[in-house]
Each structure stands twice: as structure tokens, then as C-alpha cells.
Amino acid sequence: MLDDRLALERTGVAPGRQLILIVEDSDDDFFAMQRAFKKAGLMNPIHRCSNGDQAADYLFRRGEFAAPDAAPRPAIILLDLNLPGLDGRDVLHMVKSDQDLRRIPVIVLTTSSAPQDIERCYAYGANSYVHKPVDLEGFFQAISRLKDFWFGIAVLPKEER
């Protein structure tokens, strides 16, 4: 119990509740994701980056995230592609090219169904590519299925301490 409390104080993430990094510029899509997580019973802590530059700073622990405990490592990244500044394709390539980050599963969650985006993301090492459903119920179902697989069936890498 004391170890759990110390881990929470040190990293901001409770043990057993792995952090999800959401890289999403749309407030509407982000709030829909939060609602879908809640509806699916996914209570993991979330950190949101609203553009690719902020996501890179968070993941590489620089700028506003340079302090030792400012950027706990996520267990999984949900990544939009069409972002202001550094786009999601570039963020994906940076993550999967980095020795320390490449083991983090990256799920591309985007409105793009362009074959070249799908191929490029998998070539860069995406763990899955999900087309965002346009209706809210479809979106809730997609998040529920992601939760069932990534937090129920799959075994994620141990969080960094």
C-alpha cells in the first residue's frame, strides 16, 4: 500500500492503472473518447497532447515536460494523424525509431481511410490502425473493443519506474 502511494506520488499514475497518452487536436473527439472510456469502464489515467509538437515534447521529456516526473511513460498511445504542427505520421515515425519508446504500442485512431496512410503507418510500426466511426455509438463500440483487447487480452510492457 505504501509502495502504491509512493508510486502515485512519484509518477502521477496509480499502479495497475497504466497511463494512456491521447494525441488528438479535436476537442470534440477527445471529449467523445473520454465519454467512451467511461462508458466502457476504462478508468486508466489519461494525458492529452493536442498537437504533434507537444506529443514529441512529452514523449522525449523536453520543454514543459523536462522535469523528472512531468511525463510518466504511457502504456499505450492513441494517435490521430492529422495534427497541427508535427503530424501524427511524424510522431509515429519518431516513436518507433527511438530505442526507448518503440516498445510502446501505438494505435492510430483517425478519420483517414487513405490506403497510403494505412500502408505508411504500418511501415512505420503502428500496432493497429482504426478508422474513427462517424456516429457516437459506433465510436463507443470501437473504444470498448480497443479496451477489451489492449487492456483485457494483450499484455502491455511493464511501466518504467
What digits encode the pLDDT tens for the residues 128-152? 999 988 888 888 899 899 988 988 8
What digits encode the pLDDT tens for the residues 27-65? 999 999 999 999 988 889 999 999 999 999 999 999 999
- Kindly indicate the confidence band of residue 90, based on its pLDDT and cuts at 50, 70 and 90: very high
What are the angstrom distances between the C-alpha of 109 and each of 1, 7, 151? 36, 30, 16
Residue type, 129: Y
Question: Rounded to an integer, what distance in angstroms lies between the CA atom of residue 88 and that of residue 79?
Answer: 6
Identify the domain containing residue 117 by its residue range.
Answer: 19-153
Look at the alpha carbons of 69, 51, 36, 115 in this order and tell me if their dihedral is positive or negative.
Answer: negative
Q: Is residue 14 part of a domain?
A: no
Where on the phi/psi map is residue 25: left (φ > 0), alpha (ψ -120 to 50), or beta? alpha
Q: Is residue 4 part of a domain?
A: no
Q: Output DSSP code: residue 16.
A: T
Question: Rounded to an integer, what distance in angstroms lies between the CA atom of residue 105 and that of residue 124?
Answer: 12
User: Residue 128 corresponds to which cell in the numbers above?
Assistant: 493497429
Q: Is residue 24 part of a domain?
A: yes
* Residue 92, domain CATH: 3.40.50.2300
Q: Is residue 143 part of a domain?
A: yes
Q: What is the largest CA-CA distance in the chain?
A: 50
Residues written for the chain: 161
What digits encode the pLDDT tens for the residues 7-27? 334 434 344 578 999 999 999
* Number of domains present in the structure of the chain: 1
Q: Is residue 160 part of a domain?
A: no
What digits encode the pLDDT tens for the residues 114-132? 999 999 999 999 999 999 8
Q: Is residue 161 part of a domain?
A: no
Q: Is residue 137 part of a domain?
A: yes
pLDDT(89) > 90: yes
Mean pLDDT estimate for the chain: 87
- Kindly indicate the confidence band of residue 100, based on its pLDDT and cuts at 50, 70 and 90: very high
Q: Is residue 159 part of a domain?
A: no
List, in sequence order, every residue forming a beta bridge with 22; answer none if it has no partner: 48, 78
- Kindly indicate the confidence band of residue 68, based on its pLDDT and cuts at 50, 70 and 90: confident
